[in-house]
């Protein structure tokens, strides 16, 4: 008979293995256990009612600096920004753009339109 502690511990490991496999099938790499496998340079800009947000507002809104580096995946940045906006009431959503490049590759831009 397996104890409840053992059941929780084994399930915890099984979930992680599942997340590693899943991360190879989707762009996001949060739980892939691949630290510093990608060097993504990015800039997040946003505007509300035509007024651009300052860097501090971006940082508070998305929990990450407005400009900087992400060591997992550009998709992680996009996921975070998209989730924040989609979870807000429509009147609080803003237009956002994320400009990024991975491993020194070409710059790309992802946009979220609140309107």
Partner 1 sequence: MNGTILPTPLLLMAKIMVLVLAMRGYAYLVMPRRGVSFIPILEQIGGDSDWRLGLSVLFFTGGTLVMFNFKVRLGCVLSGLALILATLINAGGFANSRFYPGCILLLTGLWDGGPWTMLALRAQVVVLYFGATVNKLLDVDWLNGRYFEFWIREKLQINWYSHAAEALPAGLLSTTMGITTIVLEFLILFTLLYRDWRPFAFAGACAFHIIVFVITGLDFGVFLYVSLCSFLVFAPPDAFDILSPGAGDGGYIKVSARRIVGKPVFWLMVIPILSWMNNDELQIMGKIITTMAGALLIYLVFSSRHATRAAGHTLNINQA
Residues at the site binding partner 1, with contacts judged by CB under 8 A = 2-3, 5-6, 8-10, 12-13, 16-17, 20, 23-24, 29-30, 32-39, 62-64, 69, 72, 76-77, 79-80, 83-84, 87, 102-105
CA distances from 59 to 1, 18, 54, 80, 88 (A): 49, 31, 9, 12, 16
Of the pair 41, 50, the CB lying nearest partner 1 is at 41
Of the pair 29, 95, the CB lying nearest partner 1 is at 29
CA distance 86 to 114: 9
Q: How far is the CB of 15 from partner 1 (least distance, A)?
A: 10
Question: In a 3-state reduction of DSSP, which class is residue 2?
Answer: coil
Question: Residue 84, Cα to own-chain centre: how many angstroms?
Answer: 10
Whether the CB-CB separation of 84 and 112 falls below 8 Å is answered with no
- Residue 34's region, left for phi above 0, alpha for psi from -120 to 50, else beta, is beta
Of the pair 50, 84, the CB lying nearest partner 1 is at 84
């Amino acid at each position: 008979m397996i104890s409840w502690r053992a059941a929780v511990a084994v399930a915890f490991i099984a979930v992680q293995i599942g997340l590693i496999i899943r991360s190879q099938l989707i762009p996001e790499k949060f739980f892939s256990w691949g630290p510093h496998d990608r060097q993504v340079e990015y800039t997040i800009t946003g505007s509300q009612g035509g007024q651009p947000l300052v860097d501090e507002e971006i940082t508070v809104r998305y929990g990450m600096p407005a400009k900087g580096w992400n060591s997992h995946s550009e998709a992680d940045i996009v996921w975070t920004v998209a989730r924040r906006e989609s979870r807000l009431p429509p009147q609080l959503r803003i237009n956002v753009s994320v400009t990024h490049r991975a491993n020194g590759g070409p710059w790309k831009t992802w946009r979220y339109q609140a309107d």
